[in-house]
């Protein structure tokens, strides 16, 4: 499957029109099964399917460590539209009950209050520690240079990106996808499978920060998120509850820090 396709377009300007080929970002379905049971399905940009599946399993609590996963394999080569995940017997015994629920992939019940969503996570996951402190200026600089690591965006102008850095600003991985959630799953999943997720200190996102993206960062143990656009109110509430740091670019220059300022050296 192609990550992008060539498509003819008409370029309109006030004085003229012209036909020209354009690159359009690819989009294809991806289904994930766990122990043979349907787990998740959706659309994504082709590529990094196994990493995306692993990252999603981590985010949704299906796996806590790489050792929980016996295998994660493409089930339909060369189409690569299905990934089959096999867990250890011990891990499957712990989470098998979830596959009898209406939403086995952990889709949120929006009938609950926002506070319930935060409280449920607090009961199962610990807050972030304060061992990482970084330069705010360098963090915002990573946002300014994010486009340099987005070849697919350069070609199509239609993808989101996630970059993961160490606390020393070493670039660990970058993933692009038409969906911001997919891009984050791919980036986290790649480091998770490579057993390098413990090196991660900061996420840099091309999108806004939503509740779900903060939740994925919590599961991955990454305490700092810098983004191009602002977070939602619920994302800030969740991040504050877990002692995280959220920041984004500010109109006219500089940036906004919404919570966790103690991790950022602003001098």
Average pLDDT over residues 132-158: 90
pLDDT of residue 163: 97
Res 111 pLDDT > 60 = no
Find where tokens 């766990």 sit: 34
Q: pLDDT tens-digit profile of 148-184? A: 988 888 888 889 999 999 999 999 999 999 999 999 9
pLDDT of residue 220: 97
CA atoms within 13 A on the CB side of 166: 7
Q: What are the backbone angles phi and psi of residue 258, rounded to the nearest 5°?
A: -95, -30
Q: pLDDT tens-digit profile of 56-104? A: 999 999 999 999 999 999 999 989 999 999 999 999 999 999 997 644 4
What is the band of 51 on the pLDDT scale with cuts at 50, 70, 90?
A: very high
Average pLDDT over residues 40-45: 92
Please indicate, yes or no, if residue 76 is contained in any of the structural domains.
Answer: no
pLDDT of residue 109: 43
Please indicate, yes or no, if residue 5 is contained in any of the structural domains.
Answer: no
Please indicate, yes or no, if residue 208 is contained in any of the structural domains.
Answer: yes
Please indicate, yes or no, if residue 173 is contained in any of the structural domains.
Answer: yes
HEC string of 36-56? Answer: CEEEEEEEECCCCHHHHHHHH
**Residue 198's domain spans which residues?**
134-265
The structure tokens listed for 64 are 């806590």
Average pLDDT over residues 99-119: 59
Find where tokens 């143990």 sit: 221
Please indicate, yes or no, if residue 165 is contained in any of the structural domains.
Answer: yes
Cβ atoms < 10 Å from Cβ of 223: 26
pLDDT, mean over the chain: 89
Q: Which long-range contacts (CB under 8 A, 24 or more apart) does 17-26 make?
A: 23/155, 23/156, 24/156, 24/158, 25/152, 25/156, 25/158, 25/159, 25/178, 26/1, 26/2
Q: 75: exposed, middle or buried (C-beta count within 10 Å: 0-12, 13-18, 19+)?
A: middle
pLDDT of residue 117: 80
pLDDT of residue 15: 72
User: What is the percentage of the chain residues whose pLDDT exceeds 90?
Assistant: 67
How far out from the chain centre does Cα 25 lie?
18
The span from the CA of 39 to the CA of 246, in Å, is 30
Q: pLDDT tens-digit profile of 23-33? A: 878 889 999 99
Average pLDDT over residues 174-198: 96
Average pLDDT over residues 186-200: 97
pLDDT of residue 101: 60
pTM: 0.87
Q: Which long-range contacts (CB under 8 A, 24 or more apart) does 252-260 make?
A: 254/140, 255/136, 255/140, 255/143, 255/226, 256/230, 257/136, 258/230, 258/231, 260/223, 260/224
Please indicate, yes or no, if residue 258 is contained in any of the structural domains.
Answer: yes
CATH number for the domain harbouring residue 166 = 3.40.140.10
What is the band of 107 on the pLDDT scale with cuts at 50, 70, 90?
A: very low
Please indicate, yes or no, if residue 11 is contained in any of the structural domains.
Answer: no
What is the band of 17 on the pLDDT scale with cuts at 50, 70, 90?
A: low
Please indicate, yes or no, if residue 222 is contained in any of the structural domains.
Answer: yes
Check if the beta carbon of residue 188 is closer than 8 Å to that of residue 52. no
User: What is the percentage of the chain residues whose pLDDT exceeds 70?
Assistant: 92
Residue 2 or residue 120, greater confidence: 120
The span from the CA of 262 to the CA of 253, in Å, is 21
Residue 47 or residue 16, greater confidence: 47
**Domains identified in the chain, total number:** 1
∠ CA 30-35-41, rounded to 5°:
20
């Amino acid at each position: 499957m192609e990550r992008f396709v060539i498509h003819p377009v008409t370029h309109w300007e006030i004085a003229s029109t012209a036909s020209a080929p354009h690159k359009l970002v690819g989009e294809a379905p991806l289904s994930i099964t766990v122990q043979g049971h349907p787990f998740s399905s959706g659309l994504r940009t082709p590529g990094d399917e196994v990493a995306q599946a692993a990252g999603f399993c981590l985010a949704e609590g299906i796996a806590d460590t790489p050792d929980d996963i016996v295998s994660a394999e493409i089930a339909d080569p060369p189409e690569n539209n299905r990934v089959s995940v096999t867990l250890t017997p011990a891990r499957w015994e712990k989470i098998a009950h979830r596959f009898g629920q209406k939403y086995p992939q952990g889709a949120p019940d929006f009938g609950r209050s926002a506070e319930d969503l935060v409280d449920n996570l607090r009961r199962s996951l610990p807050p972030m520690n304060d061992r990482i402190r970084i330069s705010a200026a360098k963090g915002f600089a990573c946002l300014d240079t994010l486009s340099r690591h987005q070849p697919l965006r350069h070609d199509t102008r239609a993808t989101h990106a996630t970059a993961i850095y160490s606390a020393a600003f070493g670039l660990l991985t970058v993933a692009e996808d038409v969906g911001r959630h997919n891009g984050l799953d791919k980036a986290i999943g790649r480091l998770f499978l490579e057993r390098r997720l413990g090196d991660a200190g900061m996420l840099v996102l091309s999108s806004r920060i939503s509740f779900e993206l903060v939740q994925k960062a919590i599961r991955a143990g990454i305490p700092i998120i810098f983004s191009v656009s602002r977070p939602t109110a619920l994302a800030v509430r969740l991040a504050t509850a877990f002692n995280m740091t959220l920041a984004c670019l500010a109109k006219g220059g500089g940036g906004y820090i919404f919570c966790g300022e103690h991790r950022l050296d602003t001098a």
